[in-house]
Amino acid sequence: MSPHPAPTAPRPPLRVALAGIGVVGGGVVRLLEANRELIARRAGRSVEIVAVSARDRHKDRGIDLTRYRWEDDMDALVAADDVDVVVEMIGGADGSALTLARHALGAGKALVTANKAMIAHHGLDLARLAEERDTPLKYEAAVAGGIPVIKAIREGASANEIARVYGILNGTCNYILTQMERNGASFAEALGAAQAEGYAEADPAFDVDGIDAAHKLSILAALCFGTRLDIGAVTANGIRNLIAADIREAEALGHRVRLIGMAERNESGLYQHVQPCLVPADHPLAYVPGALNAVVAEGNFVGRLFFEGAGAGAGPTASAIVADIIDIARDEYGPAFAMPVDSLDAAPVADAGARVGKHYVRLIVEDRIGVLAEIATAMRDAGVSIESFIQRGTDEEDGVVIVLVTHAGPARAIDAALAILAKSDHVVGAPMLMPILAL
Ligand code: HSE
């Protein structure tokens, strides 16, 4: 039999309803209008927006929505007989986004979402509902915006065992770090620049405290390792305690600071951590500039895969959403996490304290006799071996900046040393601890 069946009668259009028309929703409308014919040829049928719904009907969005049916009540999108696919772009882990998603899947409609928080917290329940109703649940835009990394891992690399996935999963933080690198800016100045560019989330804590990256990492981990989504098991440390000296010292050590989400499955369980790290200056992640995202997945047959692209923005996010819609139009979908929910493992949480590696520790201390001895004693008592010790005599942070690089050792020893130093009257403010990645 030919693998290319002769064309049959044209299939009916795929009818799409959009819930939440903000920046991303506007991008989806524009993309479906601009590439309408190409999308119809690729999908084998036309894709039509039949209804839209958002909080404020009269807001100027710079697009003409009058040609689409407006529904004040989002649930009307789910109830409508002429809707095949509901696209959720409301945002937020719970609330109206989750209600809409549950109702849509429960009614047997396909659901496309860009909502990483909702998938991270409720992805398993939603995937189960989708399985029960045999309807698609797609979320390409939820992880790394326009980068087709969900599809690549779920399909292109699906023959591989993946032991580790890591990357730059938050564009705002990467933009801030790049600004600090290029201009010597402080964290506060660089955050201001990110907000002026419109990158930071409405509540920048989601970006700078690593929460947004944690959501994305938990989704990648489930997909890569066939484990049950467990956002509660992801540890997140953000970038707000970084100072300009950290960026300079990292560079002097031949590294760059990046907020890295890393998930690894090993004998002790599943490790999922978001934290600022020192990345070797010659690793591809060190070259990822501005608000871009990048994901590295290591497969046991394919080797290292590296994906880079825009992690946010109207165009890239719309590109990912519409790709999901095209898959649905072609009837190309399967279990949301690449295998049925009941096949996903419940992996134990790995002991993060047992991870062995070198660490960068930065302290700001009072300029007094005996402070260095105090630091050295804390390191000795906690069993931390020091590889190098830098004090440049600056007092830019209302104290003296001290940077230590440790020999490879367990993370729990460094934590113990910092717990001792936290009691010291001579250490000013919070220390900065970053793993030095050997990638
Ligand atoms: N606020 C996110 C970021 C964009 O900065 O990457 C969407 O996830």
Instruction: Give the atom of ligand 1 at the shortest distance from the alpha carbon of 172.
Output: 5
Length of the chain: 439
Among left, alpha and beta (phi > 0; psi -120 to 50; other), residue 427 is beta
Measure the CA–CA gap between 81 and 87, rounded to whole angstroms: 16
Give the contacts of 386 (CB within 8 A, at least 6 positions apart).
376, 379, 404, 405, 406, 407
User: What does the pLDDT average to over 186-213?
Assistant: 90
114 contacts 139 by C-beta, under 8 angstroms: yes
Q: Is the CB of 201 under 6 A from ligand 1?
A: yes
Ligand 1 pocket check: which of 24, 89, 116, 207 to mutate, most ligand atoms within 8 Å of Cβ? 207
How many CB atoms neighbour CB 206 within 10 A? 20
Measure the CA–CA gap between 218 and 389, rounded to whole angstroms: 36
User: What does the pLDDT average to over 214-226?
Assistant: 98
Measure the CA–CA gap between 404 and 388, rounded to whole angstroms: 6
| Residue 200: pLDDT over 90 | no
Residue among 270, 284, 276 nearest 162 (CA): 270
Nearest residue (CA) to ligand 1, atom 1 = 201
**Residues above pLDDT 90, as percent of the chain:** 89
| Residue 326: pLDDT over 50 | yes
Q: Is the CB of 311 under 6 A from ligand 1?
A: yes
Q: Is the CB of 146 under 6 A from ligand 1?
A: no
- CA 216–ligand 1 middle distance (angstroms): 10
Give the contacts of 125 (CB within 8 A, at least 6 positions apart).
none
DSSP, collapsed to helix, strand or coil, labels residue 281 as coil
Question: Which domains, ranges and CATH numbers included, belong to the chain?
Answer: 14-142 (3.40.50.720), 158-310 (3.30.360.10), 352-436 (3.30.70.260)
Residue ranges with strand state E in 285-378: 292-299, 303-310, 356-365
| Residue 374: pLDDT over 70 | yes
How many CB atoms neighbour CB 248 within 10 A? 17
Q: What is the pTM of this model?
A: 0.95
* Mean of all residue pLDDT scores within the chain: 94
For position 223, what pLDDT does the model report? 97
User: Does 216 participate in catalysis according to the annotation?
Assistant: yes
User: pLDDT tens, 112-139?
Assistant: 999 999 999 999 999 999 999 999 999 9
| Residue 181: pLDDT over 50 | yes
For position 128, what pLDDT does the model report? 98
Instruction: Give the atom of ligand 1 at the shortest distance from the alpha carbon of 213.
Output: 6
433 contacts 414 by C-beta, under 8 angstroms: yes
Measure the CA–CA gap between 286 and 258, rounded to whole angstroms: 7
- CA 213–ligand 1 middle distance (angstroms): 8
For position 395, what pLDDT does the model report? 58
CA distances in angstroms from 248 to 184, 392, 405, listed in the order given:
8, 12, 14
Give the contacts of 393 (CB within 8 A, at least 6 positions apart).
400
Q: Is the CB of 174 under 6 A from ligand 1?
A: no
- Which range, of 60-64, 290-294, 408-412, averages the lowest pLDDT? 60-64
Q: Is the CB of 207 under 6 A from ligand 1?
A: yes
For position 236, what pLDDT does the model report? 97
For position 398, what pLDDT does the model report? 77
Q: Is the CB of 308 under 6 A from ligand 1?
A: no
Of residues 413 and 429, the one with the higher pLDDT is 413
Give the contacts of 373 (CB within 8 A, at least 6 positions apart).
none
Q: How many helices (H) and strands (E) does the chain have?
A: 14, 17
| Residue 269: pLDDT over 80 | yes
| Residue 68: pLDDT over 80 | yes
pLDDT range class, residue 3, cuts 50, 70, 90 = low
Q: Is the CB of 314 under 6 A from ligand 1?
A: no
Measure the CA–CA gap between 106 and 293, rounded to whole angstroms: 33
Q: Is the CB of 379 under 6 A from ligand 1?
A: no
Measure the CA–CA gap between 233 and 270, rounded to whole angstroms: 9
| Residue 1: pLDDT over 50 | no
**Residue 100 burial (10 A CB sphere; 0-12, 13-18, 19+):** buried
135 contacts 110 by C-beta, under 8 angstroms: yes
User: What does the pLDDT average to over 215-222?
Assistant: 98
User: What does the pLDDT average to over 64-82?
Assistant: 94
pLDDT range class, residue 199, cuts 50, 70, 90 = confident
- CA 173–ligand 1 middle distance (angstroms): 9
For position 429, what pLDDT does the model report? 82
DSSP, collapsed to helix, strand or coil, labels residue 363 as strand
For position 9, what pLDDT does the model report? 72
Please pick, among 109, 116, 138, 216, the residue that the annotation labels catalytic: 216
- CA 310–ligand 1 middle distance (angstroms): 10
